[in-house]
Amino acid sequence: MTRLISKAAILGLVVTAGLTLAGCQSAPETPEASLYQKLGKRAGIAQIVEDLLFLIVDDERINQQFKGLDVASFHRNLTDQLCQLSGGPCTYSGRGMREVHADMAITDTQFNALTENLILAMEENGVGTGAQNRLLKRLIPLYPDVRNL
C-alpha cells in the first residue's frame, strides 16, 4: 500500500505541476451576483460579444447562419442577454430564443461551434474557468430552444 501511496503522491505532484502550468485559479467566488462582476460588467460582456462576433465571421461551420444579420442590434441584444443571465442590471429585449431559431435548423455541430467560440472569446478576455462555467451553466437550458427540439 505504501508503494501505491508514493505513486499517488507522484501523480499528485504531476497534477499540481499541471495546474501551475495551466495557471488555474482556485478560490471559488460565492455570491450569485458576482458572476456579472467577473465578466467585467456590461462593458466586459460587450467586449466578449464583439470578440465572439469576430470568431463567428471566421468560422465556416456557422458564419452562413449569421449572413444578413443586423450586427449592431445582434451585438446589443446578446450583450443584454448575457448581462441579464449573469445577474447584471440589464433586460434582454430581443425575440424569444425558440422563435429566433425556429427556421434555422441549427445542428449539434453548429451549436458546439458557437459554444467553442464563446469559450474562446471569454478566454481572450481573461474570464476565469469558474466564471466561464457558471455562465455556460445558465446558457445550457437554452439548448432545446436553439436546436428547436
Partner 1 sequence: MKDVPVLLAALLLLTAQSAFADIGSRIWATGGVTTIEGSAGGGLVPWALLGSYASDEEWGGTLALSRAETDDYTLAVIGAGINWNNRVELTVARQSLDLDALVFTLSNGFGLEQDELNQDIFGAKIRLAGDVLYSPWGQWSAGIQYKRQRDFTVPAAIGARDDSGTDVYFSGSKVFFAALFDRNLLVNATARATRANQGGLLGFGGDRNNSYEVMAEASAGLFLNRRWLVGAEYRQKPDNLGFAGEDDWWDLFVAWVPDRRLAVTAAVVSLGDVATLEDQQGLYLSLQGSF
Which residues would be at the binding site for partner 1 (CB under 8 A)? 3-4, 7-8, 11, 14-15, 18-19, 22, 24, 26, 28-29, 61, 107-109, 111-113, 115-116, 119, 129-131, 133-134, 136-137, 140-141, 143
Q: Which residue has the cell 452562413?
A: 64
Name which of 94 and 130 has its Cβ closer to partner 1.
Answer: 130
Return the C-alpha cell found at 34. Answer: 458576482
Query: Smallest gap, in angstroms, from Cβ of residue 99 to partner 1?
Result: 20
Q: What stretches of the chain show up as alpha helix (H) in DSSP? A: 2-22, 34-38, 41-57, 71-85, 97-101, 108-124, 129-139, 143-147
Query: Smallest gap, in angstroms, from Cβ of residue 80 to partner 1?
Result: 22
Residue (of 46, 102, 114, 55) closest to 74 by Cα position: 46
Name which of 9 and 71 has its Cβ closer to partner 1.
Answer: 9
Name which of 1 and 72 has its Cβ closer to partner 1.
Answer: 1
User: Cα 78 from chain centroid?
Assistant: 12
